Amino acid sequence: MEERKETTSSGRIIPRSGINDRIPYEHQKKAMECMDRINSGSDFSTLVVLPTGGGKTYTAALWLLHNAIDQHKKILWIAHRQMLLDQAAEAFQRYAYTETIPHISGFRYRIISGSSSHGRTIDIRRDDDLLIVSKDSIGRSLSALDDWLAGEEELFLVVDEAHHSTAKTYRRVIDYVRSKIPHVKLIGLTATPFRTAEDEQGLLGKIYTDGVKNNAVVHNDVGITYQISLKDLISRRILAKPVFESYQTEEQYGQELGLEAWESIQHLDTLPDDVARQIAGSALRNRLIVDTYQKGQQKYGQTIVFAVNVDHAIALNALFRKSGISSDYIVSSIRDAATGVNVSREDNERKLQAYRDGKLQVLINVNILTEGVDLPKTGTVFLARPTVSTILMTQMVGRALRGPAAGGTDTAYIVSFVDNWDEHIAWVNPESLFDGNNEFSDNMADRIQREVRMISLSKIEEFATMLDSSIDTTALEKVPFTQRIPIGMYAFSYLEENGMDLSCQVMVYDSTAEAYRQMMADLPALFASFGVTEEYLPDDVLRQMERQCRDTYFCGEMVPPYSSDDAVRILKYYAQYEAAPSFYTFDHIDRSRLDVGAIAKHIWDEDMGQRKAAEYVESLWNQGDDNLLRLFFGRKLYFMHQVEIEKTKLAHPDTYNDTHITYDTIALEDLPLREIGKLNPQREKELRDGAFAKARTSRDTYRCACCGMEVASRIPFQVDHILPMNRGGKSVPENLQILCRSCNGRKGDQ
């Protein structure tokens, strides 16, 4: 007999007898009633908007069980992450009761993704009733749906995290299904439908066209059948009010990491073992975590700490207990080879019950407490591990969001411990999960504090640069400090090819604002000139496009300097959504309150001695909790360092005013343009601008010096040396021309 292996990725679900013990909240009942109304038509395309913690998956699964599965209608459920697929399948399995599906004896489900624990598109069977698929797996094999769809008159198509459904692959799947089925009922589930750019909102409105307003079905609008705000769920006490705190650990990681390690972090959300060991073994960092809890124990209450690994959990647990705090840790039920710890499921459940019973104040968790465990009295989460995954961050934060009406707490404290990483890693800021739902902010002061903390995180790398004696920071330091405070940011999220959902905040300064404005306006032309239409750009093309952006927009003096990583993230976003990310200004932040130059001048004018000046700076730092200085600088050392720089400017103005540069060994004209830019950014800009000015026609276009192609934008062109440098050509205006990329490429091949 052929040996068989059981798989959880597909099977037949038999309805449970009895009554579902999870009773929907009023907002979930209302959402299902509105879905009943819109379902009266033969087809529809609509959004259901429930904020983080509002129960989107539960609400949709319960409604679909009754209105689709029980009516012998097929469901295609699409998401971009394996975890989301598993959660959807679990919801259908858990809530399949006979009271919900009374007319059938059972139904078949199948999960499809690139994961080894899931099925493949080739496994799809005609008799599957529920397909839960990753958007990339099905996007690459749309024809695999043909037999499954054949003969069907009606289909329910669900897009989870529907704010991503404007991405090319989602649109392609939707269009394909509509070409095969006469009546498609499209349901988008999301917490934040409009956290993206206005252009993308318009595209979202083209996908979701039907909604319910005033108990009536409406069409040709951004179709929302039901929507409730985070503020409403908080006011109903279903969700707790999130309060965000962050603490700088003063620890630095990642200096020695290679490209492979960075890729592992960015794309797999996996810390290299040596870095994880450093974090776990940091006595100062661990003490900060425990001391923070101990000082705020009364307000924090029962707290879940998310640790990096088993070593970290053990170390933290020992410190908590030594400090007189009842704690324990739970980890996956495996033996850890490094520590020798063997934790069984029974051990975990015993500790969980002790936490539920109030016998433990702190429960330390390693990769296990993200979903499916009921711990209603949790009032706080400590984020002692970083993540690049918005899904994982949502699950960690969600452990504390249960409100009083749901057996939880009034307030949820979300406490982050922020390390210093020299490289640009897009760690998820927990506050970004609520970018589209900021109603929980009571006033402008809350909003300012939130945004100042976000800016503060962006300053960490600048701080590291300032303290690195091997780096010349004179150019950075001579710029007035208020000009080094961002004027706004581009905030957005995009999907990596493996389904990782990355949140990004690209800070914009006075010196880069115009460059970013031009870049955003020219993104359509940039992509057209490269002829790329893929949702995921090949690395070589991505780097070519980034270099074009740098040469076109970001030449000249820019402080802080242009970041290629920021440009790459914007390009990845546009490749998926064909829209520029949203820009948020910081206009309402009073930058003068952060002006260390004014503080230094006061010290200078008052002729304070060293002791008096130190006491004055200390008093400013120790002002009340709403003190923007502490919020912005985060680190006291950074604040004091900046004051000292400004005092030095006043005492020795020539140190920062002397901008004369003498080149003893090589003339600028003998260097390539990019090398010139490293020494004199303004000169590079002048040379490039001059080459384009020479090529400008009376029709306000630019003309390729080789083929004569004319375009109004600079995007398709590159500045070229007429006489190549390897043949004695100079980087001087008379030896520069512009060529289209095709002509420049052919010239380079000759």
User: With bands split at pLDDT 50, 70 and 90, how would you rate the model's confidence at 369?
Assistant: low
**pLDDT given for residue 14 in this prediction:** 95
pLDDT exceeds 60 at position 125: yes
Q: What is the pLDDT of residue 188?
A: 95
For the domain made up of 10-228, the CATH class stated in words is alpha beta
Among 391, 395, 386, 383, smallest CA distance to 426 is for 386
* Position 544, amino acid: Q
Cross-strand bridge partners of residue 136: none
Does the pLDDT of residue 444 top 80, yes or no? Answer: no
| 616-656 tens-digit pLDDT | 888 888 875 556 677 677 667 778 888 888 888 888 776 55
- Of 346-350, 613-617, 664-668, least confident by mean pLDDT is 664-668
Give mean pLDDT, residues 730-739.
Answer: 94
Whole-number Å distance between alpha carbons of 717 and 743: 9
Give the DSSP H or E segment for 328. Answer: strand 327-330
Count the alpha carbons within 13 Å of 188 in the hemisphere toward its beta carbon: 32
Averaged pLDDT, 330-348: 59
Query: Tokens representing 235?
Result: 């006011």
Q: Are 32 and 64 in contact (CB under 8 A)?
A: no
Residue 617 is inside which H or E element, if any? Answer: helix 610-621
- Cβ within 8 Å of residue 608, ≥6 positions away: 616
pLDDT at residue 438 greater than cutoff 50: no
Model confidence pLDDT, tens digit, residues 653-663: 765 554 444 43
**Token digits of residue 121:** 């598109």
Position 340 scores a pLDDT of 47
Least confident stretch, 348-357, 397-406, 534-543 = 397-406
Strand 44-49 and strand 183-190: the pairing is parallel
pLDDT in tens, 290-316: 999 999 999 999 999 999 888 899 999
Q: Which residues contact 680 (CB under 8 A, 6 or more apart)?
A: 661, 668
* Angle at alpha carbon of residue 175, lines to 171 and 177, rounded to 5°: 120
In this prediction, residue 221 carries a pLDDT of 62
Q: What mean pLDDT, rounded, does the chain reach?
A: 83
Specify the range with the lowest mean pLDDT, choosing from 226-230, 245-249, 272-276.
272-276
* One-letter amino acid for residue 662 of the chain: T
Q: Across 165-169, 262-266, 428-432, which has the greatest mean pLDDT?
A: 165-169
Strand residue runs (E) in 424-562:
488-495, 501-508
Contact call for residues 673 and 719 (beta carbons, < 8 A)? yes
Residue 441 is predicted with a pLDDT of: 46
Higher pLDDT, 172 or 485: 172
Cα separation values, 228 from 25, 33, 225, Å = 12, 14, 11
Q: Which of 435, 588, 586, 453 is nearest to 508 (CA)?
A: 586
Model confidence at 129, pLDDT cuts 50, 70, 90, reads: very high
Q: In the 8-state DSSP scheme, what is residue 305?
A: E
CA 456 – CA 463 distance, rounded (Å): 10
Instruction: Assess whether the previous peptide bond of 560 is cis (omega < 30° from 0).
Output: yes
- Of 54-68, 185-199, 708-722, 735-749, which range is least confident? 185-199
Q: Is the pLDDT of residue 269 over 80?
A: no
Digit-coded pLDDT (tens) for 491-509: 788 888 766 777 777 888 8
What's the CATH number of domain 668-749, 3.20.20.70, 2.40.50.140, 1.10.30.50, 3.90.650.10? 1.10.30.50
- pLDDT one-digit tens code per residue, 22-52: 889 999 999 999 999 999 889 999 999 888 7
Give percent of the chain with pLDDT exceeding 90.
41
Tens digits of residue pLDDT in 183-221: 999 999 987 665 444 445 567 888 899 888 877 777 766
- pLDDT for 471 equals 53
* Confidence grade of residue 115 (pLDDT, cut at 50, 70, 90): confident
Query: What pLDDT is attached to residue 486?
Result: 82
Query: How far apart are the C-alpha atoms of 259 and 261, rounded to whole Å?
Result: 5
Pairwise pLDDT comparison (230 vs 161), residue with the higher score: 161
Check if CATH label 3.20.20.70 holds for domain 241-440: no
pLDDT level of residue 230 (50, 70, 90 thresholds): confident
Is a pLDDT exceeding 60 seen at residue 469?
no
Print the SS3 string covering 104-156.
Answer: CCCEEEEEECCCCCCECHHHCCCCCCEEEEEHHHHHHCHHHHHHHHCCCCEEE
pLDDT above 90 (res 263): no
Kindly give, in sequence order, each residue whose CB lies less than 8 Å from that of residue 6, ignoring residues fewer than 6 positions away. Answer: none
State residue 397's pLDDT score.
85
CB 163 within 8 A of CB 22: no
Dist. CA 465–CA 299, nearest whole Å: 37
Tens digits of residue pLDDT in 559-597: 777 888 889 999 999 999 888 988 888 777 777 777 888
Please compute, for residue 510, the number of CA atoms within 13 A of its CA located in the half-sphere on the CB side.
9
Mean pLDDT of the 253-268 span: 66
CA distance 267 to 325: 37
Residue ranges matching CATH 3.40.50.300 in the chain: 10-228, 241-440
Residues spanned by CATH 1.10.30.50 within the chain? 668-749
> What's the pLDDT score for residue 658?
47
CB neighbours (10 Å) of residue 365? Answer: 23
Q: Is 588 exposed, middle or buried (0-12, 13-18, 19+ CB in 10 A)?
A: exposed
Whether residue 456 has pLDDT greater than 90 = no
By the 8 A CB rule, do 266 and 426 touch?
yes
d(CA 174, CA 498): 20
Per-residue pLDDT for 741 more than 50? yes
Strands 717-721 and 736-740: antiparallel
